[in-house]
Structure 1
Amino acid sequence: MCLIAFAWNTHPRWRLVLAGNRDEFHGRPTAPLARWPDTAMAAGRDLEAGGTWLGVNDDGRCTVVTNVRDPRDPQVGRSRGLLAVDYLTGPDQAPAHASRLRADAAHYRPFNLLTFDAREGIYLGNRPEARLQTITPGVHGLSNADFNTPWPKTRALMQRLQHWLEVDADNLEPLFAALADERQAPDEALPDTGIGLERERWLSSAFIRGERYGTRSSTLVLIDHRGAGRIVERRFGPHGRPDGQTELRFGIAD
């Protein structure tokens, strides 16, 4: 998962609204969003390492993880996707889970992890060292840098989410349109993460279209203040080819 905007405890209906794109190599085997057998969680599945990038469970918890873009980092350690599974299938709420994980965070590949429960949202990152932060009410963003780093595509998605909350916090199509935005940022606004200008340009759009690498899925999560919600995943193949949609309900029934 490489681009996220979310609204936390800032809307009268929704405790959490989260919009995110997962960017990955198209050749990496992946299972679509589904309920996992013998668990209370729903998520896509990375069939290579066994984890997930974003998921929810029936008690209204949600988690999402991104990598950290730094070509100088060797990217070794345990799979960060296992962090999401550990949270959604374990007994700990977000603060306890993050506190327990903090001591072991350095043993995972570079990650940003967001965890949400009925009361609190927590950010935990492990580069350059473990950092834990309680999330304040409001609209926030995350990509492949530190929490709330103002990359152009992160700011743009946050702005469109804020507008959606103010105008029509029900119709999902404007949020999917924001995730499908292929406009690239001007050169003067691009970050310098050590990958070169041409690649910075390509990765600066919300939706990345490519033959070998690109946006694999766009996902929306909406959880109300009782813990009931829905998760919707749209999937894409090489060159952005549509590859199906799944929607699931979870938590307390309406």
Structure 2
Amino acid sequence: MCLIAFDYRPDSRFPLRLVANRDEFHQRPSAPLGPWQETPDIIGGRDLEAGGSWLAVHRRGRFAAVTNVRDPELKVTADAPSRGQLVREALECADLADWLRKLADGDGWRYAGFNLLAGEVGRLWHLHRGRDRLVLDVVTPGVHGLSNAGLNTAWPKLIKARQGVVEALRRGHWPDDALAALADAGRAEDDQLPDTGISLELERMLSAPFIIGEQYGTRAMSWLEWDAERAAIRMGERRFGPGGILQGESEENVVLAR
């Protein structure tokens, strides 16, 4: 996952509304949004190469999503586990808060750079693993965004995505207005680009909320709405192939265990 924007209101009927784009190589095998075959209480997309996920929920009332941190100078061991496994472990662990604290206390260094967003009823955390930082924070209520840096780092694509969430909530067009912002393939001006240690050409390509490419690009556009009154999570996913061509759509209404 490379771009997430969300509204977190723990005391409201809708404690979490979220949209996200997953950018990945088109050849990497993936399964669409749905219950996992061997663990049907987990619902989400699935990376079939490493077995994890970029965004998924559990019927017990738990959510997790991950983005990569882009930093060529971040050192990683050859046997580092897949960051997608963080999503699965967050959903399946016995005590989410305790598991996150253990990651923050040092276990998180085993992974390549990541942002993990994970939560359950009334609680949402952000864990950041950067080049020299491993920090766990409680997410405060409001509209936030995550890309390939820290929480709310003001990259142009993140600003667009976050504003899309604001407009969708203001106009009452959820999730359509938010998804429209994520579908924006416009690249940032050069003077607005972040400097993450990669080439200028690649910074330009990756600056758009929606990345179009033949080898690499936006593979999935997802949305989520947690309805506390109905004890359910509604999810949707649009899938794209090379050239940004729509390949399919899925929706799930996940009734939570009471």
TM-score, normalising length from structure 1? 0.94
Q: Using the alignment, how far apart are the partners of 2:180 and 2:163 within structure 1?
A: 13
2:10·2:123 contact (CA, 8 Å) conserved in 1?
Answer: no
- Secondary structure of 1:100's counterpart equals helix
Q: Using the alignment, how far apart are the partners of 1:209 and 1:133 within structure 2?
A: 33
1:30·1:47 contact (CA, 8 Å) conserved in 2?
Answer: yes
Quote the residue 2:254 is aligned against.
Answer: 250
Q: Using the alignment, how far apart are the partners of 1:10 and 1:124 within structure 2?
A: 19
Quote the residue 2:135 is aligned against.
Answer: 131
Quote the residue 1:41 is aligned against.
Answer: 42
Q: Using the alignment, how far apart are the partners of 1:79 and 1:252 within structure 2?
A: 28
Q: Using the alignment, how far apart are the partners of 1:126 and 1:200 within structure 2?
A: 21
- Correspondence list, 1:95-106, <5 A: 95-102=97-104, 103-106=106-109
Gap runs ≥5 in structure 1: none
Q: 2:224 aligns with which of 215, 221, 224?
A: 221
Quote the residue 2:57 is aligned against.
Answer: 56
Gap runs ≥5 in structure 2: none
CA shift digits 1:12-57 (9 cap, x unpaired): 4311011000000001111111101343110111111111010011
Q: 2:195 aligns with which of 192, 196, 217?
A: 192
Q: CA RMSD in A?
A: 1.6
Shift in Å at residue 198 of structure 1?
1.5
Q: Using the alignment, how far apart are the partners of 1:34 and 1:82 within structure 2?
A: 17
- Secondary structure of 1:98's counterpart equals helix
Shift in Å at residue 112 of structure 1?
0.7
2:217·2:242 contact (CA, 8 Å) conserved in 1?
Answer: yes
1:59·1:251 contact (CA, 8 Å) conserved in 2?
Answer: no
Quote the residue 1:140 is aligned against.
Answer: 144
Structure 1 stretches (4+) deviating beyond 6 angstroms? none
Shift in Å at residue 119 of structure 1?
1.3
Moved more, 96-105 or 44-53: 96-105
- Secondary structure of 1:5's counterpart equals strand
Quote the residue 1:4 is aligned against.
Answer: 4
Quote the residue 1:230 is aligned against.
Answer: 234
Shift in Å at residue 252 of structure 1?
4.1
2:11·2:122 contact (CA, 8 Å) conserved in 1?
Answer: no
- Secondary structure of 1:14's counterpart equals coil
Quote the residue 2:163 is aligned against.
Answer: 159
Moved more, 201-210 or 224-233: 224-233
1:106·1:129 contact (CA, 8 Å) conserved in 2?
Answer: no
Shift in Å at residue 99 of structure 1?
0.8
1:55·1:84 contact (CA, 8 Å) conserved in 2?
Answer: yes
1:63·1:87 contact (CA, 8 Å) conserved in 2?
Answer: yes
Quote the residue 1:65 is aligned against.
Answer: 66
Q: Using the alignment, how far apart are the partners of 1:169 and 1:240 within structure 2?
A: 24
One-letter amino acid of the structure 1 residue matched with residue 122 of structure 2: R
Q: Using the alignment, how far apart are the partners of 2:61 and 2:18 within structure 1?
A: 13
CA shift digits 1:208-228 (9 cap, x unpaired): 000000000000011022441
One-letter amino acid of the structure 1 residue matched with residue 99 of structure 2: H
Moved more, 141-150 or 29-38: 29-38
Shift in Å at residue 148 of structure 1?
1.2
CA shift digits 1:157-203 (9 cap, x unpaired): 11110111111154x32222111101111111110111122211111
